[in-house]
Structure 1
Amino acid sequence: MLPSPLPPDFIPFNKPHLVGPELEYIRQAVAAGKLSGNGEFTQRCQQFFEQRYGIHKALLTTSGTDALEMAALLLDIKPGDEVIVPSYTFTSTANAFVLRGARIVFVDSGPEHPNLDVAQVAARITSRTRAIVPVHYGGQAADNFTELLALARQHHLWVVEDAAQAIEARYRGQALGTLGHLAAFSFHETKNVSAGEGGLLAINDPTLAARAEILWEKGTNRAAFFRGEAARYEWVDVGSSFLPSELNAAYLWAQLEAIDLIQQRRQQLWQTYATALAPLVTAGQVRVLPTQTDSAPNWHLFGMLCRHEAERDELLAYLRHRHILAVFHYLPLHRSPYYVSRHGNAEPLPHAERFGQTLVRLPLFQDLQPDQQQRVIDAINEFYTTR
């Protein structure tokens, strides 16, 4: 049976946006006869990240998940190693390292924001710890992020930034994705700039760059061979098929060209929500995720916190009844069936659990029209007038 069609006035949570040249660039890629990746559009996208953000080497991947899995492979994570990860995150953050045999050590969120609580990290470090994987939730770094980096240096640990949501965001003026040794970005259709599916691994430690390219090329020296730097094209290391199609890169390039306009629009939408919902915040009926100290956010999402889980679920149902799709976000990984089945019940992480029970994300996408956004705002206000 086919699903029922959505009502014509339905407001989705997200809608992919065409800035203009995407289809023309895809046509150009097809005409050039180079579809398999690492062509002109791939190289343009990678150079954009290197030049705009100061990344030493950038490599496009088929997804943000693949970028994380490539990072775990690049760091030679092995069975018995421990990797510190916030519990409030998507499965890919942990799964990339579980695939290499690592034990995941979860850290709670802070009391005000879903990002990991830096103050709790030191107590989680053991002689088996190899890496810390902070997640820049909603395009913001954790408070006291410099302390996290100092802790990693003190214990000789790798830092892999999960910057899936963080393009254009900054911490103390420095682009997120350039603070750690490695960083993973995502270009999933829900992200600020999109390729439908896609990602990028940022290599900020120059000592990792040459091997990263080999892993990216399925364990071969293919890229170096075509640059004339290797006499033969050989299998020289492990690797996998991380390189995306040139068609994805062509689509992404159009979005990167328009990134300033995209960011301006998202900021406008975010500020409209914040201003309109301020009376509910003042009345103590809802909270809005705050801007972290020293962070310049990228307006990736508008997060609103209800007072308890039942209220959150009632609000989502009410909005859906009004033909509006708002959504919750992550369920803490330390409570997931996969983790519990293998490790048993973990210690409580109360802040991560609270965010999992109360956080709501409102529709925020490039083509959200003023009348649609006002409908969302009106519906939320109507819901709380009955509370």
Structure 2
Amino acid sequence: MIPFNKPYLSGRETRYIEEAVRMGKISGDGAFTRRCHSFFEQQLGFHKTLMTTSGTAALEMAALLLNIQPGDEVIMPSFTFVSTANAFVMRGAKVVFADSTAENPNLAVAQLEALITPRTRAIVPVHYAGIACDMEAIMHLAQKHNLQVVEDAAHAIDSYYKDQPLGSIGHLAAFSFHETKNIISGEGGLLAINDTAFTQRAEIIWEKGTNRSAFFRGEVDKYTWVDIGSSFLPSDIIAAFLFAQLENLRDIQQRRKHLWQEYATRLAPLGKLGVGLPTLPEYATNNGHMFYLVCRSLQERTALIARLRACQVLAVFHYQPLHQSPYYRAKHDGRALPWAEHYADCLVRLPLFYELEAPQQAMIIEEVLTFYSAIV
């Protein structure tokens, strides 16, 4: 079976893990954590970064930093992973779902202003498949209505809006290093803090609500509980694994982009049949995170996945729309979100990972083309 995903070892992961163990500190905020922070801040230009145990944890930190309270409203797409919503629902927020666009699953910016009320506190754009939302328009709305923007950049490492790295534009941003992402540590995430007003408190929340980090820098004579927080920082073993990946970011990205482009080129004829392929707005770049097709119906997608599985290829569908979920259906305001539902029914993700071999990819492409040639 050709898997949908396969975690990739770039070469030094186990060596760095051993090095972390020999240094005698494998809890949080060790030497490799600091190396990762420096990489993100110096190479990608984030003001301040804090590694977390997951992308979910980074979003939860963002909700705490924004002081989200019961009854506050937070706007986000319905077509996203449940963590995007959970982080704010856990603080008592009412999530207001926006639809996706016809061009791609990103949120429809044109709908946003109509969803803003006096209770709206934040907008959470999700850069689906590493393709940028229209951040200039989103930030303009946020400034106009005095809102905060939290970029869900879980898919978006090394992807750009114009010349700005995704995750560096909103007030805060969350990244994921889950094993299905481009750069991985098994589980793991990162909070990027771009608004300096959040810097000091983010560090306190990260350290269980204490000023421990300031104590170790010699800024206070003892550390104590000064705010709410939790244990968001990961083991330095996770950071050691991640740092080895970061050292090979260029190579990993070059390979993934090559595979993505091969799919895009060979499968382009399907567009003439009405099958959707990833589209890049003029302001966006492609980071090779995923390649997907948008089938013409749920039945067609089901048949395509079954055909590929019969050929020993694991292709998968993606999110179910959160506004229709058993948990949130009764809380949704009842608006129809047709594009979110369309992607939930019709989007299929093809295998894309570093070690996918050219003959394997060629076979996947051929099977997809053969499937469509038989049903035209």
For the criterion TM > 0.5, the same-fold answer is yes
C-alpha displacement at 1:281, in angstroms? Answer: 2.2
C-alpha displacement at 1:299, in angstroms? Answer: 1.1
Unaligned runs of 5+ in 1: 1-9
Give the conservation status (yes or no) of the 8 Å contact 1:118–1:145: no
Give the conservation status (yes or no) of the 8 Å contact 1:335–1:345: no
**Corresponding residue for residue 5 of structure 1:** none
Farther off after superposition, 261-270 or 285-294: 285-294
The alignment status of 1:375 with 2:363, answered yes or no, reads yes
**CA–CA distance in 1 between the matches of 2:276 and 2:118?**
40
What SS does the corresponding residue of 2:174 show, helix, strand or coil? strand
Give the conservation status (yes or no) of the 8 Å contact 2:99–2:338: yes
**Corresponding residue for residue 121 of structure 2:** 130
C-alpha displacement at 1:266, in angstroms? Answer: 0.5
**CA–CA distance in 1 between the matches of 2:144 and 2:211?**
34
Match of 1:223 among 197, 210, 213: 213
**CA–CA distance in 2 between the matches of 1:83 and 1:236?**
27
**Corresponding residue for residue 304 of structure 1:** 293
Give the conservation status (yes or no) of the 8 Å contact 2:162–2:283: yes
**Corresponding residue for residue 110 of structure 2:** 119
Deviations 1:147-203 (A, max 9, x none): 111000011100000000000000011000011000000000000000000000000
Match of 1:177 among 167, 178, 199: 167
Deviations 1:104-129 (A, max 9, x none): 00000011110001000000000000
The alignment status of 1:326 with 2:332, answered yes or no, reads no
**CA–CA distance in 2 between the matches of 1:207 and 1:345?**
33
**Corresponding residue for residue 349 of structure 2:** 361
Paired-residue identity, %: 59
Give the conservation status (yes or no) of the 8 Å contact 2:323–2:332: no
**CA–CA distance in 1 between the matches of 2:184 and 2:138?**
30
What SS does the corresponding residue of 1:357 show, helix, strand or coil? helix
Give the conservation status (yes or no) of the 8 Å contact 1:135–1:162: yes
The alignment status of 1:277 with 2:267, answered yes or no, reads yes
The aligned runs of 1:100-115 (5 Å cut-off) are 100-115=91-106
The aligned runs of 1:140-151 (5 Å cut-off) are 140-142=131-133, 144-151=134-141
**Corresponding residue for residue 37 of structure 1:** 28
- Provide closer, same or farther for how the CA distance between residues 280 and 150 of structure 1 changes in structure 2, counting only shifts above 3 A: same
- Provide closer, same or farther for how the CA distance between residues 383 and 345 of structure 1 changes in structure 2, counting only shifts above 3 A: farther
The aligned runs of 1:45-194 (5 Å cut-off) are 45-142=36-133, 144-194=134-184
What SS does the corresponding residue of 1:131 show, helix, strand or coil? strand
TM-score (norm 1): 0.95
**CA–CA distance in 1 between the matches of 2:279 and 2:320?**
20
Match of 1:385 among 347, 353, 373: 373
What SS does the corresponding residue of 2:327 show, helix, strand or coil? helix
**CA–CA distance in 2 between the matches of 1:379 and 1:209?**
51
C-alpha displacement at 1:292, in angstroms? Answer: 2.0
**Corresponding residue for residue 279 of structure 2:** 290
Q: How many residues align structurally?
A: 375
Match of 2:224 among 213, 216, 234: 234
What letter matches 2:82 in structure 1?
T
- Provide closer, same or farther for how the CA distance between residues 344 and 94 of structure 1 changes in structure 2, counting only shifts above 3 A: closer
**Corresponding residue for residue 6 of structure 1:** none
**CA–CA distance in 2 between the matches of 1:70 and 1:98?**
13
Deviations 1:207-235 (A, max 9, x none): 10000000000000111101101111101
**Corresponding residue for residue 210 of structure 1:** 200
**CA–CA distance in 2 between the matches of 1:131 and 1:171?**
20
**CA–CA distance in 2 between the matches of 1:354 and 1:296?**
24
**CA–CA distance in 1 between the matches of 2:186 and 2:288?**
19
Give the conservation status (yes or no) of the 8 Å contact 1:285–1:384: no
Give the conservation status (yes or no) of the 8 Å contact 2:257–2:286: no
Structure 1 segments of 4+ aligned residues over 6 angstroms from their partners: none
Name the Cα RMSD after superposition: 0.9
